[in-house]
Amino acid sequence: MTTLQVLAVASEIYPLIKTGGLADVVGALPAALAQEDVAVRTLVPGYPSVLAALKPAKTVMTIGDSFGAPARVLAGTAAGMEILALDAAHLFDRPGNPYSGPDGLDWPDNQRRFAALSRAAADVALGAVKGYRPDVVHAHDWQAGLTFAYMNFAQGRRPGTVMTIHNLAFQGQFSAAFFPMLGLPPQAFSLAGVEYYGGVGYLKAGLHYADRVTTVSPGYAAEIRTPEEGMGFDGLLRDRSATMSGILNGIDTEAWNPQTDPHLAMQYSKASMGRRAVNKAALQSQLGLDQDPEAPLFGVVTRLSWQKGMDLLVANVPTLLGQGAQLAVLGAGEPGLEAGFRAAAASNPGRVGCVIGYDEALAHRVLAASDAVLVPSRFEPCGLTQLYALRYGTVPVVARVGGLSDTVIDANPAAMGRGVATGVQFAPVTYEMMRVAIERSVALYRQPAVWKKLQSNGMASDVSWRDPARRYAALFRELVPAG
């Protein structure tokens, strides 16, 4: 088998730049795919943190006018990955996160910033970097969506193309007034092109032009072809059914390994679960919770947003307290939810603790210290925290949606009877059903043998990248002509 060359295109890559699971996935795929004889180079925007990490940062392509000023593509390695960075200071040398400034507002020129990324990606895909000819281009989310539109109208040998949807809620939808700026031919502005509900749709473009469409779980792949969950894309995605699939995410089982995790107060394994108590006590102390080893401790690590159902959790704080439970929240996001958790912590000292902010090390500690992790998402393309929870012997209590329903086996009588349950699911995603799920979870927790079984089943689940990487590799190889 010859090594397949894949050019990945994305706006985030862990550990260089991250706002959510997209970065984790883009950062994990290169190493996982290397095991399948697939060599990945990832093109990302030249944010300050990316350029600072890139060695040796050799110029491999120059661009006379990248949407307003000259730019170049730099090549090198960073964090063990082969990176191409679009060095365009006028677009990417800014504080804040990849999409918004320190004031939390989206940059007003995002349409330009990610068109520039996609334009550069198309040029690299078609051979603009000397000595580099990718076999397949793998675009992630709307920020990379226009890549395939640019490739479609260019001359030359076209690599295979795969568009992966990480979250259909983020669509990259802009006014039609921007179309002329993109430098695409007029005929691209049509239903069979980049036009979407009268505007320019970046994700729409990717979904339309890609040879294959994937999303990050089979469950979400099915949901988004329905009018209820398709967010306007269900028709297009139903048309693409024959070329669409769901491939579950994995997690980095080295970085997330309770036996070696340097962030924990005490490492542990399936054989030494008693040591988890040390982590629980340490987190209780860090978050100002009562030192109560018996209280079921529910943890949450998340963006605080409507998607994640966090308003339902705020409403269910009394349920948790009524069950004698404690709650530990690590999250940042919508100001109303941040205020809601701050208020819950202030009025329930010793029982509710929250840290508003983004903290990678604390995320590990919450996952390792909690008895259960709550993921009450209204929709969830895959979700990673329930996978971390499984690996850490922390029981996931999740909404029965998307990737959550694919990765957690509910402790119903049938699954318990067969000894395969790993957590608790609830549906529909309402305050009431979440309340019932919390009560069920506490009842299970109070039966130590049953709880232990859930924990050990979870720890035995394969949440690694091995199987997903095989699936991606097989999909990529389908797109490459034999010989």
Residues that bind ligand ADP (CB under 6 A): 20-22, 24, 301-303, 330-332, 358-360, 363, 382-385
In this chain, which of 249, 319, 457, 464 binds ligand GLC, going by CB under 6 A?
A: 249
Q: Residue 330 binds what, of ligand GLC, ligand ADP, none (CB under 5 to 8 Å, by partner type)? A: ligand ADP
Using CB under 6 A as the binding rule, whether residue 384 contacts ligand GLC is answered as: yes
Q: Which residue has the tokens 């290397």?
A: 34
Of the candidate residues 166, 208, 212, 477, the single one contacting ligand GLC (CB under 6 A): 166
Alpha-carbon gap, residue 355 to 362, rounded angstroms: 9
Which string of x and - marks every residue 174-213 that binds ligand GLC (by CB under 6 A)?
A: ----------------------------------------
By C-beta, is 120 or 399 nearer to ligand GLC? 399
Count of CB atoms within 10 A of residue 418's CB? 9
Nearer to ligand ADP, 156 or 336 (CB): 336
* Residue 331 binding: pick among ligand ADP, ligand GLC, none (C-beta 5-8 Å cut-off by kind): ligand ADP
- What is the distance between the alpha carbons of residues 283 and 287, in angstroms, rounded to a whole number? 6
4 or 203, CB closer to ligand ADP?
203
User: Of 129 and 398, which has the nearer Cβ to ligand ADP?
Assistant: 398
Nearer to ligand GLC, 18 or 112 (CB): 18
Q: Which does 230 bind (CB under 5 to 8 A by kind): ligand GLC, ligand ADP, none?
A: none
- Nearer to ligand ADP by Cβ, of 28 and 473: the residue is 28
Per the CB < 8 A criterion, the answer to whether 233 and 204 are in contact is yes
Instruction: Report the nearest approach of ligand GLC to the CB of residue 252 (Å).
Output: 13
Nearer to ligand GLC by Cβ, of 380 and 406: the residue is: 380
406 is a site residue for ligand GLC (CB under 6 A)? no
Closer residue to ligand ADP in complex, CB, 151/387: 387
B/e letters for 54-80, b = 16+ CB within 10 Å, e = fewer, are beebeebbebeebbeeebbbbbbebee
What's the rounded Cα separation, in Å, for the pair 220 and 71? 37
Q: Of these partners, ligand GLC, ligand ADP, none, which one is at the site of residue 360 (CB under 5 to 8 Å by kind)?
A: ligand ADP
380 binds ligand GLC (CB under 6 A): yes
Judged by beta carbon distances under 5 to 8 A according to partner kind, the member of ligand ADP, ligand GLC, none in contact with residue 301 is: ligand ADP
Which segment (71-79, 325-333, 377-385, 407-415) binds ligand GLC by CB under 6 A? 377-385
The residue within the footprint of ligand GLC, chosen from 13, 22, 61, 88 (CB under 6 A), is 22
Alpha helices in 94-201 (DSSP H): 110-125, 147-152
303 binds, among ligand ADP, ligand GLC, none (CB under 5 to 8 A by kind): ligand ADP
Asked if 51 contacts 74 with a C-beta cutoff of 8 angstroms, the reply is yes
From candidates 145, 381, 396, 458, binder to ligand GLC by CB under 6 A: 381
CB burial string 171-194: b at 16+ within 10 A, e below: bbbbeeeebeebebeeebbeeebb
10 Å CB burial of residue 462 (0-12, 13-18, 19+) is: exposed
Q: Which of 188, 183, 202 is nearest to 141 (CA)?
A: 202
Backbone torsions φ then ψ of 185, nearest 5 degrees: -65, 150
- Are 434 and 312 contacting, i.e. CB atoms less than 8 angstroms apart? yes
The angle at the Cα of 322, spanning 318 to 324, to the nearest 5 degrees, equals: 120
Rounded CA-CA distance 407/386 in Å is: 8
Please tell me the distance from the alpha carbon of residue 27 to that of residue 45, in angstroms, as a whole number: 14
Asked if 21 touches ligand GLC (CB under 6 A), the answer is yes
User: Which residues make Cβ contacts (< 8 Å) with residue 46, sequence separation at least 6?
Assistant: 74, 85, 86, 87, 88, 89, 92, 93
Q: Is the dihedral of CA 282, 283, 288, 290 positive or negative?
A: negative
Under the criterion CB under 6 A, does residue 12 sit at the interface with ligand GLC? no
Residue 382 in the binding site for ligand GLC (CB under 6 A) = yes
- The binder of 385, among ligand ADP, ligand GLC, none, by C-beta within 5 to 8 A per type, is ligand ADP
363 binds, among ligand ADP, ligand GLC, none (CB under 5 to 8 A by kind): ligand ADP
Q: Which does 216 bind (CB under 5 to 8 A by kind): ligand ADP, ligand GLC, none?
A: ligand GLC
3-state secondary structure at position 140: strand
- Contact range with ligand GLC by CB under 6 A, out of 20-28, 144-152, 270-278, 439-447: 20-28
Do 119 and 183 contact (CB within 8 A), yes or no?
yes
Q: Is residue 427 helix, strand or coil?
A: coil
Q: Under the rule (CB under 6 A), what is the footprint of ligand GLC? A: 20-22, 25, 166-167, 216, 249, 380-384, 403
